[in-house]
Amino acid sequence: ETGVTQTPRHLVMGMTNKKSLKCEQHLGHNAMYWYKQSAKKPLELMFVYSLEERVENNSVPSRFSPECPNSSHLFLHLHTLQPEDSALYLCASTQGHSTAVYGYTFGSGTRLTVV
Amino acid sequence: EDQVTQSPEALRLQEGESSSLNCSYTVSGLRGLFWYRQDPGKGPEFLFTLYSAGEEKEKERLKATLTKKESFLHITAPKPEDSATYLCAVQAHYGGSQGNLIFGKGTKLSVKP
């Protein structure tokens, strides 16, 4: 257990479904991130929240919608996904977005399969 | 554009056979270079941060070094439990990706007994 908890661990959804991924950290960090990890590709940054405000949206399709209700929780709402969206979705947190002196602490990820 | 390239893509070693992984980078002013370890089905686990050329850090059988263009992760006398994917990432002072970690594709290390 790293201090960053992601649920669910596995998710299979149809292209017309709506689902949400949840991330929770109790490390006292003030920045949280969503990354997408696909086979043979580098981790792709999707969204950054610093002090509960979104500071980055890396040209992510609107079918992905993030929400950060407080500094401990982060959600990724999913709707009308495509098969190419199947991947491991990782949440991470750190203290101080612009410095990340101690690196990011990652959760174990949600393995998403779109059918 | 900030970029990270890791080599080799995959590395197979015998237990006790020392080797090095490479991370080459181009970045608009390096704030920090990070090494992570990732086991199958898990998120990356932080190993080291390096800030300036010439810096070195060690942890058990791992030693990370940094130059102005690349970083090496040296693995001395590896054991099967060192098998994992090792990720390198950089953080820039300036530019469009300022503050964000930019990752390489990783090196998958397999250590056979």
Say whether pLDDT at B72 is over 60: yes
**Model pLDDT, residue B98:** 59
CB contact under 8 A, B103 and A42: yes
Q: Which of B32, B44, B98 sits opposite A106 (nearest CB)?
A: B44
Per-residue pLDDT of A70-93, as tens digits, reads 989 999 999 999 999 999 999 999
B83-108: average pLDDT: 85
User: Which chain B residue lies closest to A109 (C-alpha atoms)?
Assistant: B43
Burial (CB count within 10 angstroms: exposed 0-12, middle 13-18, buried 19+), residue B31: buried
Give me the residues of B, 80-109, that contact A with CB < 8 A.
Answer: 87, 89, 91, 98-106
Residue A5 CA, chain-centre distance (Å), reads 11
Q: List chain B residues with CB under 8 Å of A106.
A: 36, 43-45
Q: Which residues of A touch B30 (CB under 8 A)?
A: none
β-pair partners for B46: B36
Nearest to A106 among B31, B43, B104 (CB): B43
